[in-house]
Amino acid sequence: MNKVSCQYVFPHGTYDYIESIPGNIEVGSISFESDKFVYCEGNIETLLDYKTVQKGEHPKMADYCFYRFFEKSPIITSPELPAEELSKGCYCSMFLYSKLQIPPELPARKLEEACYQNMFQVCTYLSYLPELPSTQLAPYCYYGMFYSAMIWEQNIPLLPATVLPHHCYSYMYAHNSVYLVAEENLSKVDLSRYNIKSWSLPKSSVYGTGCAEYMFDIYDYSFCEEEPVPGKQYYIICRK
């Protein structure tokens, strides 16, 4: 039988956090009796239906099936998340406040509402950010995904979607001291103090209400912007 396996490594501390989920939804979670760092591996879909996985297929995902599953856990690496079509809130807050260093690949092409919402919130040990290849977004799909995750400008992946539902990117990189500057305002930035990376969103055919609301932090209102306009050239900066 395929399964998710874990291996302890060495001690570290813990965090505390409280969050609510809408409705009366039953969710599962995993707990560890130690605060040691843990390596996880295997296909997480086997926890849904291992027989379907053995057939080379993807089991159906219930809404919020892995909600806060590894919350505050000491995991360093993640199991595989190979699902191609997601469900509402399926990975919402999945690694919240965890010690995750190596994020999973996220190959899904068809997203659903809130599927990645707050997924890596306050994951301050991330070595890099996963690629986000989907072009079929959903409302709140990336909402707060990397909120307060201590990311830096070189980590931010390309976002290829051109149809942007409402609030799909809201708060995505907020509270990270990563700032967005329009090309015409770059001369106002003291480049000796910042790392810089060219960045833009593709020109969009659909731009939903608040789709990129508060996507980035605001450090100085004279040159920083919090909500990018698709098709416009920007630079992402963060302090050296």
pLDDT at 9: 38
pLDDT at 41: 86
The structure tokens listed for 58 are 């993807």
pLDDT at 151: 85
Neighbouring CB atoms inside 10 A of 225's CB total 18
pLDDT at 220: 65
pLDDT at 56: 94
* Average pLDDT by stretches of 10, the chain with 240 residues: 42 30 48 75 91 93 93 92 96 96 96 98 94 96 95 84 95 91 90 90 89 85 84 90
pLDDT at 173: 93
pLDDT at 88: 96
pLDDT at 137: 97
The sign of the dihedral angle between the CA atoms of 122, 86, 210, 152 is positive
pLDDT at 23: 41
Closest by CA to 6, choosing from 40, 43, 36, is 40
What is the Cα–Cα distance from 203 to 206, expressed in whole angstroms?
9
Q: Which residues contact 150 (CB under 8 A, 6 or more apart)?
A: 124, 126, 176
pLDDT at 87: 96
**CA atoms lying within 13 Å on the CB side of residue 186:** 14
